[in-house]
């Protein structure tokens, strides 16, 4: 029984070591020593215009990614207005887009999404204003995105 437990422990240690041999490449081209690894980030302040399908990072190999987003807005004159953040990626079946945040005047929101992405296809973000026909009334936004490769 002892030999079985020792053999099982060695096997588990070998497998976990093998899982850590894959390296992530950051957006600046440097390697991450271990996963998860922050590979890209975006910081925008005092923005007043839309940003459509902006690439965050294009992976060189298939992987699982986590995008953490944080968005704040200023006050505006149109109370029903808001800024919308959506994220885009391509998995092995289709190109996809998902709503991440809706942030109303003087608001704050944060979210985390996991995405399975294929190599060579960018992970993107889009920020769009919604104002119910009256624009956003001077409301601006700040955006912070952190992209980590998990696998």
Question: Any idea what the Cα angle at residue 104 is, between residues 65 and 131, rounded to 5°?
Answer: 110
pLDDT digits (tens, 9 = 90+) for 55-82: 999 999 999 999 999 999 999 888 889 9
HEC states along 65-105?
A: EEEEEEEEECCCCCCCCEEEEEEEEECCCCEEEEEEEEECC
Rg of the chain in Å (alpha carbons): 20
pLDDT at 4 over 50: no
pLDDT digits (tens, 9 = 90+) for 117-146: 999 999 999 999 998 666 788 999 999 999
Domain ranges of the chain: 2-149
Note the pTM of the prediction, 2 decimals.
Answer: 0.79
CATH number for the domain running over 2-149:
2.60.120
Is the distance from CB of 22 to CB of 35 less than 8 angstroms?
yes
């Amino acid at each position: 029984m002892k030999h079985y437990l020792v053999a099982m422990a060695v096997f588990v240690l070998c497998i976990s070591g093998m899982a850590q041999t894959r390296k992530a490449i950051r957006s600046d081209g440097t390697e991450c020593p271990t996963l998860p690894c922050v590979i890209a980030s975006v910081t925008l302040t005092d923005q007043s215009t839309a940003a459509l399908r902006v690439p965050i990072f294009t992976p060189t190999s298939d992987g699982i990614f986590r995008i953490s987003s944080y968005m704040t807005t200023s006050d505006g004159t149109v109370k029903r207005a808001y800024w919308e953040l959506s994220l885009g990626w391509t998995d092995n079946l289709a190109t996809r887009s998902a709503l991440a945040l809706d942030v109303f005047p003087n608001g704050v929101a944060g979210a985390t999404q996991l995405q399975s992405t294929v190599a060579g296809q960018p992970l993107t973000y889009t920020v769009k204003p919604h104002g119910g026909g009256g624009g956003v009334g001077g409301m601006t936004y700040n955006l912070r995105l952190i992209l980590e490769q998990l696998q």
